[in-house]
Amino acid sequence: MDQVRCLIVDANPLVRNCLQEVLSAHAHMQVQGTVSGLQLAKQRILQDPPDVLVLGTKGSADGMMRFLRGLMRNLPTPVVLLVEVNSTSTALAAEALALGAVDVIEKTVQHPEEQLRTRGRMIADRIFRAAFARVTQFRDSVSAEGATGQGPPERGGHFRYGLIALGASTGGVEALGRVIQAFRCDLPPVVITQHIPEGFSELFASRLDRRVKVDVQVAAHGARAMPGHVYIAPGHAHLEVVRRSGLFWLKLQDAAPVNRHRPSVDVLFASVAEAAGSGAIVGLLTGMGEDGARGLASCRARGAHTFAQDQDSCKVFGMPRVAIEMDAVEEVLSLDQIAQRIWKLTHG
């Protein structure tokens, strides 16, 4: 596409005007229009579908979810959420990401237009890149009762591989949700870095924990990584794995961002290469950029079994593509193959 066409939906006219200025200044973006509410947005989308939708989250949470479900079922469109930093909006955004929204941009409650204008170039670039995300038709999630279970986790069980590590960025909330829902209980510890704003990781973990067979939680510093558990990096810190006395332990650190990210997938994977080596299964899922590719290469060099999500099932085939080009990937899997492949490898 020569120009990315964007529709802006936000109740605040100052925010709408500011975003229009910011996006219009981008050489390859065109603001198709601005509207104040969801009903007007529906009309505009039906008349002239945009390439990307910027959606403020003010208003009814139920109404927002109905709107997004309808959009993703009938006319899948890349959506970037504009979220105030408060618990209600954060919870809503976490649900929206699970439905298939591409990205989240945070705004302050007081004078949001000033903050958006200050960060204008970065915001315009993120919205531009979001327009190229592969958005699939929404389908209802599998419930925990429908997941494939094998009884209680084998605490301290004997697995061919002792640790599983996954990394993801754009589209990862939705992709990881599908993978984890298909996990059986009898797995070694799973550690995950997903690029996600601070505060969203807790909601992501708790939402999954209610729906799946395995135990899902935000990683805590100094905790032992247990079989049958999934640990998600918090949105404000790098997650690492260290090995002591033959066991894996979790370490959090608030060092500088790596590849512009904290948490960084490269940081996690580098620690997995060191701590687990050939005893790890390491996979890189959908996401923009290249974070995780070098770390995955380090894991493969140490003998880990490495894989990447395939292009057809990725929302954004960025990070996996770079890893494949670096020869860091042992096999390429579709999203629906990942959980079963991990189980077979650990029990082979």
Catalytic residue positions, numbered: 169, 195, 291
Angle, vertex CA 116, rays to CA 113 and CA 119, nearest 5: 150
E-only strand ranges, 90-172: 103-107, 163-168
Q: Look up residue 83 and give its DSSP letter.
A: E
What sign has the CA pseudo-torsion 334, 337, 343, 346? negative
* Selection from 43, 67, 69 nearest residue 56 by Cα: 67
CA 146 to chain CA mean position, Å: 23
Which residues, 6+ apart, have CB-to-CB distance to 170 below 8 Å? Answer: 102, 103, 129, 130, 133, 195, 286, 287, 288, 315, 316, 318
Residues belonging to the chain: 348
H helix or E strand, kind and range, residue 9: strand 4-9
